[in-house]
Amino acid sequence: MATDKERVSLYLEKSTKEKMTELARVERRSLSNMIEILCEKEIRRARGEGRLDNDHGRIRDLGGLGNTLAGNLGGEPTNELLPPTGTLGGR
């Protein structure tokens, strides 16, 4: 399928993937679409909390995003999803 979207990959605990796959099935969505929806939701929340610059899309401080996403997915809270500095680069 042709798309203008970026491809990303991630690691999930097996149980988290299974739960998200089931939720996606119930919602009649793909797992990829469910993850995209969660990302968009967190971006809106970050903008609302002033952590994301609306003008340039720069992320100011994402220290809690790992905990938020893991908690929403029923996984163990962790900050391993993003570096603690709030940058999207390597460690």
Q: Which pLDDT value is given to residue 73?
A: 54
The predicted structure's pLDDT at residue 58: 61
**Model-level pTM?**
0.56
pLDDT digits (tens, 9 = 90+) for 32-75: 999 999 999 999 999 999 998 776 556 555 555 554 554 555 55
What does the longest C-alpha to C-alpha distance in the chain come to? 38
Domain boundaries in the chain? 14-73
Residue 15 three-state SS: helix
**C-alpha torsion angle, residues 30, 52, 3, 27 (rounded to 10):** 20
